[in-house]
Structure 1
Amino acid sequence: MKRFGTAWQWIMLPLTALYGLAIWCRNLAWQTGWLKPEKVPVTVISVGNLTAGGTGKTPVTAWLAGILIREGFTVGLVSRGYGRSTRGFVLVSDGRSVLVTADQGGDEPVELARSLPGLLVAVSEKRLIAANHLCAHFKPDVLIMDDGFQHRALHRDMDIVVQDYPSWIGTHWLLPSGPFREPVSGLNRAHWLVWTRTAPGEWPVFRRTEPVHQALFAQEPATLIEWSTGNQWPVSSLPFRRVAAIAGIGDPDQFFLSLQKSRLPVVVTRAFPDHEPYPQPVKSDVVQWMLKAGCEALIMTAKDAVKWSAVDLPAGITGLMVLSRVVPDPSLARLSGEVIQRVRPS
Structure 2
Amino acid sequence: MKIFLYLLYPLSLLYQFLFWWIQRGITSFHLPHVLVISVGNLTVGGTGKTPFVQYLVRFFKETYPGYAITILSRGYKAEKSKEGGILPNGLTPKLYGDEPSQHKEMFPDVQVIIGRDRKNSFLLYNQIKSKKHIVILDDGFQHKTLSRDFDFVLLDANSPFGNGLTIPLGFLREPISHSKRADAMVFTKITSENKIHLDKHKKVLSQKRISVPIFHSSFQAEVKEVLLNQNLIQKSFKSKLDSKYFLVTGVGNPKNVYETAKSTLIPESIRTKFFPDHFEYTTESLLSLLNEIKTDEALITTEKDWIKMRTDIRFIEELRKKNTTVLLLLIQVSVDEDKELKSMLAGLVSTYESKIGPASKN
Please state which band the TM-score falls in when normalised by the shorter chain. 0.7 to 0.9
Q: 1:58 to 1:191 in 2, by over 3 A?
A: same
Q: Counterpart of 2:329?
A: 322
What displacement does 1:148 show?
A: 0.3
1:175 aligns with 2:167: yes
What displacement does 1:137 show?
A: 4.2
Quick one: distance in 2 between partners of 1:312 and 1:69? 39
Q: Counterpart of 2:54?
A: 62
What displacement does 1:261 show?
A: 1.6
Quick one: distance in 1 between partners of 2:129 and 2:144? 23
Report the TM-score, using the length of structure 2 for normalisation: 0.83
CA offsets, 1:171-226, max 9 Å, x none?
Answer: 31000100000011111110110101222694712132232011111113223141
Q: Counterpart of 1:159?
A: 151
Q: One-letter code of the match for 2:134?
A: V
Q: 1:168 to 1:42 in 2, by over 3 A?
A: same
Give the gaps of 5 or more residues in structure 1: none
Quick one: distance in 2 between partners of 1:224 and 1:240? 18
Quick one: distance in 2 between partners of 1:282 and 1:7? 40
Q: One-letter code of the match for 2:223?
A: T
Quick one: distance in 2 between partners of 1:312 and 1:154? 45
Q: One-letter code of the match for 1:220?
A: Q
What displacement does 1:231 show?
A: 3.3
* Conservation of the 8 A alpha-carbon contact between 1:246 and 1:298: yes
Q: What SS is found at the alignment partner of 1:242? A: strand
Quick one: distance in 1 between partners of 2:338 and 2:123? 30
Quick one: distance in 2 between partners of 1:246 and 1:183? 33
What displacement does 1:300 show?
A: 0.5
CA offsets, 1:143-190, max 9 Å, x none?
Answer: 000000000110100000011022226631000100000011111110
1:111 aligns with 2:105: no
Q: Percent identical across equivalent pairs?
A: 27
Q: Counterpart of 2:346?
A: 340
CA offsets, 1:214-260, max 9 Å, x none?
Answer: 111111322314152313214x4469822211110001011011111
What displacement does 1:12 show?
A: 4.1
What displacement does 1:6 show?
A: 4.7
1:276 aligns with 2:279: yes
Q: 1:82 to 1:274 in 2, by over 3 A?
A: same
Q: 1:37 to 1:312 in 2, by over 3 A?
A: farther
Give the gaps of 5 or more residues in structure 2: 311-315, 355-362
Q: One-letter code of the match for 2:86?
A: L
Report the TM-score, using the length of structure 1 for normalisation: 0.87
Quick one: distance in 2 between partners of 1:110 and 1:14? 40
Q: 1:240 to 1:112 in 2, by over 3 A?
A: farther
What displacement does 1:53 show?
A: 0.6
What displacement does 1:340 show?
A: 2.9
Quick one: distance in 1 between partners of 2:4 and 2:107? 41
Q: One-letter code of the match for 2:99?
A: E
1:52 aligns with 2:44: yes
Q: 1:344 to 1:307 in 2, by over 3 A?
A: same
* Conservation of the 8 A alpha-carbon contact between 2:246 and 2:271: yes
Q: Counterpart of 1:92?
A: 87
CA offsets, 1:319-342, max 9 Å, x none?
Answer: 22111243352x233222222331
What displacement does 1:51 show?
A: 0.3
Quick one: distance in 2 between partners of 1:227 and 1:342? 41
Q: What SS is found at the alignment partner of 1:306? A: helix
- The Cα RMSD (Å) is 2.4
Q: Counterpart of 1:126?
A: 117
Quick one: distance in 1 between partners of 2:59 and 2:125? 20
Q: How does 1:208-227 map to 2 (within 5 A)?
A: 208=206, 209-226=209-226
Q: 1:78 to 1:250 in 2, by over 3 A?
A: same
Q: One-letter code of the match for 1:16?
A: S
Q: 1:8 to 1:308 in 2, by over 3 A?
A: farther
Q: One-letter code of the match for 1:321?
A: L
Deviates more, 1:209-218 or 1:146-155: 209-218
1:25 aligns with 2:21: yes
* Conservation of the 8 A alpha-carbon contact between 1:8 and 1:177: no
* Conservation of the 8 A alpha-carbon contact between 1:220 and 1:326: yes
Aligned length: 329
Q: 1:221 to 1:11 in 2, by over 3 A?
A: farther
